Amino acid sequence: MNAPLPLDIAEAAALLRAGRLVAFPTETVYGLGANAKNADAVLSIYETKGRPRFNPLIVHCADLAMAESLAEFSPLARQLAEAFWPGPLSLVLKLRPGHGLADVATAGLDTVALRVPDHPLALALLRETGLPLAAPSANPSGRLSPTSAEQVQRGFAGKVPVLDGGACKSGVESTIIAIDEENLIQLRAGALAREEIERVTGLKVQKAATGAAISAPGMMLSHYAPNAHMRLDAVPEAGDAWLAFGPSAPFAGISRNLSASGDLREAARNLFAMLHELDGTGAKSIAVAPIPETGLGEAINDRLRRAAAPRE
Ligand code: AMP
Ligand code: MG
């Protein structure tokens, strides 16, 4: 029971191209992969994991060329990629115009975390699909990261197809480094030691400060923060921008509707783009309609609450 499906690369690639999820092995842990350019596919990651918040996801690439089609590589970024890819190093870089990634994969940020995994099956799958794959660990939210296909299979009760590559070498997540000009900032410690990065670049790797003294504004925020003041569970007033959900009375000011039919998946798909649009009008305040706390609504509300929280 619950034996991993005997999925081969061609079948796995076909599922991913069709917008479905496939769990696949990397050298760190098994990832729950989706086409990072397809918002619905990425939202399925959240639904399947039962993840209560939208985090920016690490986007896995077949090679440096694919990564360079998505983000801006400075000479320093290229040096790190050439030294450590394929390998357990995720680089947070500025998105490139025309990148095509779904904003639910980057959680609405203008940066993206990219890496090339060091595993023959992961690389074969990435090459076969030709797609960047968003892939957080393939476990239900709050449970341990899986290092075998059997664990993935058990975790999701056999509902997610798994490419079986045996046991993962490392079991430790990738090291995440943000690059801002000549500054290297470690956002997460992981399988690649900081000293290795320092040895190759001759630069000191700063550890991400929690809260205070952020040397590279924007790079450190792992959530999108609008300029406008946000009021949640609100009724719009004159001067507000209005973010509606479900059937809503006409409003004289600027407004968007996350989903006129009250569909949470549609709302999740629209969330970041509509927040950016309303914030971009220069409105001082954004009033947001109540959104049910069920299914994807939990992650939507979490994101809105964090957008509404006072800035540190
Ligand atoms: P995972 O669940 O292993 O995919 O981990 C993703 C981690 O990468 C999260 O802790 C994120 O906060 C971090 N991350 C991904 N993209 C970015 C980004 N653009 N800026 C800052 N942190 C990021
Ligand atoms: Mg995880």
CATH code at 300?
3.40.50.11030
Examine the fold and report which residue of 173, 207, 241 is the final residue of a domain before the chain moves on: 207
The encoded tokens of residue 201 equal 């670049």
Same-domain check for residues 139 and 243: no
Residue 78 lies in a domain: yes
Distance in Å, CA 155 to ligand 2 centroid? 13
Q: Relative to the CA of 221, which ligand 1 atom is closest?
A: 21
Q: Give one DSSP letter per residue of 195-233, joined into a string.
A: HHHHHHH--PEEEPPSSS--SSTTTS-SS---SSEEESS
For the chain, the helix, strand and coil percentages under 3-state DSSP, each to the nearest 5 = 30, 20, 50
| Closest listed ligand to the CA of 33 | 1
Query: Do 59 and 160 lie in a common domain?
Result: yes
The two structure tokens encoding residue 193: 């030691």
Give the number of other Cβ atoms within 10 Å of residue 182's Cβ. Answer: 10
- One domain, residues 63 and 95: yes
The answer to whether residue 260 scores a pLDDT higher than 90 is yes
Question: What residues make up the domain containing 246?
Answer: 229-308
Residues 161 and 274 grouped into a single domain: no
- Number of domains the chain contains: 2
Query: What pLDDT score does 310 carry?
Result: 74
Q: C-alpha angle 70/57/122, rounded to 5°?
A: 75
List of E strands, the chain: 22-25, 30-35, 58-60, 89-94, 111-115, 133-134, 175-180, 183-188, 205-207, 229-231, 240-244, 255-257, 285-288
Cα(40)–Cα(290) distance, rounded to whole angstroms? 23
Residues belonging to the chain: 312
**What is the residue with the minimal CA distance to atom 7 of ligand 1?**
57
pLDDT tens readout for residues 98-151? 999 999 999 999 999 999 999 999 999 999 999 999 999 999 999 989 999 999
175 lines ligand 1 (CB under 6 A): no
Question: Which residues hold their Cβ within 5 A of ligand 2, which is an ion?
Answer: 137
Residue 42 and residue 141 in one domain: yes
Residue nearest to atom 11 of ligand 1 (CA): 56
| Structural domain contains residue 216 | no
Q: From 207, 238, 262, give the residue that closes a domain.
A: 207
- Indicate if 142 and 237 belong to the same structural domain: no
Q: What confidence score (pLDDT) does residue 180 get? A: 87
Asked if the model's pLDDT at residue 290 lies above 60, the reply is yes
42 and 164 together in one domain = yes
The mean pLDDT of 35-59, rounded to a whole number, is 96
Nearest CA to ligand 1 atom 14: 56
Which residue has the CA at smallest separation from atom 20 of ligand 1? Answer: 222
Specify whether 47 is located in the same domain as 172. Answer: yes
Same domain for 39 and 147, yes or no, is yes
222 lines ligand 1 (CB under 6 A): yes
